Amino acid sequence: MFLSMEREHTSIYGMILGAIFTCTLLWSAAASATIPEDKSSAVVFVYQRIGEDAVPQGNISIEQFEEHISELKKGGYSVLPLSKIIDAVKSNTPLPPKTVAITFEGAYQATLANAVPLLDDAQMPFTVFFSSDELDDSSTGHMTWDQLKKLKKDKLAGLGILPATYEHLVNQTPEKSAELINRAVSRYREMLGEEPDFFAYPYGEFNNALRKQIGGYKFKAAFGQQSGVVYNGADLTALPRFTMTDEYGDLDRFLLTAHALPLPVIDVVPDDMVITQNPPTIGFTITPELTNLAKLSCFASDTGKLPLTHIDNNRIEIRLTEALTDRRTRINCTLPNETFTAGEQPNWRWFGMLLTSPSVEEEATADSSAEDMEGSHDDETPENPPKK
C-alpha cells in the first residue's frame, strides 16, 4: 500500500503545471466565466498527521502547513466553518469566492499540538473527524476524550465522526457497518451531549449501500476522499475533499486545488464506486453550460492521462483496455475555466471519482500503522499520476 504511494509523484505533475502556464498565456484577461453551481461552492481540504515525520504516508510537515495557512491569510480566501458551508450549499445561498474549509482525519495528538495553535492564531475554523474506539482505548498518538471535550470549547473547532473503528466499510456486511456507525454516534452523544453533524468514510471508500445507509442518519453531510468541489446539487452523502500530505502538499498544488471550481456531471458510470467489472466502463455527462470540452483532461492514478471519447450532448466516455491494479484508483478530470482575471491564479473545474476494488489487498508495509488512514494516499490526484 505505502510502497505504491512512493511511486506517485512524477514528472507529469510538471507537465500539467506547464500546460496551465501555457494556457494562462493564451487566455484573455476578463472576468471569470461562471455557472449556477459556482454560486454556493467551496473547496474542502483534509489533513491527517501534522509534523509527524515518522509516519510519512499521511503526514504533512509543519513548514508546509504553515505555508498553507499563510496563503489562506493573504490570498483573499474565506475560511469558513464546515457547518456554515454545508448549510449554504443545501439552501443554495451564495458563498464568497474562494471559500475553503479545513478538516482533519483521526484526532491525532499532533493535530492538537502542531495545527490547532496555528489555526487559533490565524482565527481559522476547522473540523476534526475521529473514531470513538481510538479515544476509548487511549490509543497512542490519539487525543483523549478530555482533550476532545476541551477542543470542542474552542469556538473555531467543529467535530465529525468516523466509524467507531477505522475499517474498510465496503468489506463489511450492512449489519457490521451499522454496528460501527451506531457505536460512533452513541459515543459522541454520550460523551459530548449532542448529535454529530458530519461523517467521513474511512480511506474515502464508499458504495451505494453505504451511501443509502448514511442517508438514514441525521448527518448534515458525509465526506469521501475523492478530489473535487462541494456545490449545490452535489451528493451530500459523498462529498469530495482534497487531500494534503508532504507528497501532495506543495504550494503549487495547494494553489491549484484551492482555486478549483465545480465540474458538475450527471449520469455517472459506474453508478457504484465499488467496481465489480474490471476494467470498468467509465462515463459522465457534463452540464450543458460548459462548452469548451476539447480542453478537458482526465487522469488515472495508476496509468496517467486517459484517452477520452466525446459523444453528443456533453457526454464523455473513458474506455479502458486494461484492468485496474490498485485497491483504490482515482479518476480525476479537470477543465480550464474559459477566462480569468489578469494577475490571478487561473481556475480549473474539477471532478473526481475514487473507484475501489475490495478484492485487492493493501500492500504490506513495515509501518506499524498499516491499517490506519494513511493508506488513503496511495493514489492521489490527477496532476500527480504514478511514475512510468
Structural domain includes residue 251: yes
Burial class (CB in 10 A: 0-12, 13-18, 19+), 71: middle
Q: For residue 189, what is the domain's CATH number?
A: 3.20.20.370
How would you label 137-154 residue by residue, b for 16+ Cβ within 10 Å and e otherwise? eebebbbbbeebeebbee
54 domain-assigned: yes
Q: Number of structural domains, the chain?
A: 1
With H, G, I as helix, E, B as strand and everything else as coil, classify residue 240: coil
Adjacent-strand bridge partners of 328: 356
Let me know if residue 367 belongs to a domain. Answer: yes
Domain for residue 386, yes or no? no
Residue 387 lies in a domain: no
Domain assignment of residue 385, yes or no: no
> Residue 118 belongs to what domain range?
2-377
Grid cell in block for residue 92: 443554495
- Give me the tens of pLDDT residue by residue for the chain, a chain 388 residues long: 333 333 333 333 444 444 444 444 333 333 346 899 999 999 999 999 999 988 888 899 999 999 999 999 999 999 999 999 999 999 999 999 999 999 999 999 999 999 999 999 999 999 999 999 999 998 789 999 999 999 999 999 999 999 999 999 999 999 999 999 999 999 999 999 999 999 999 999 999 999 999 999 999 999 999 999 999 999 999 999 999 999 889 999 999 999 999 999 999 999 999 999 999 999 999 999 998 899 999 999 888 999 999 998 899 999 998 899 899 999 999 999 875 666 666 789 999 999 999 877 765 433 323 233 333 333 333 444 333 2
Does some domain include residue 384?
no
Its pTM surpasses 0.95 = no
- Taking the CA atoms of residue 170, residue 171, residue 175 and residue 177 in that order, the dihedral angle to the nearest 10 degrees is -50
Distances from the Cα of 168 to the Cαs of 133, 165, 184, 276, 328, in angstroms? 15, 9, 15, 16, 12
For residue 259, tell me if it sits in a domain.
yes
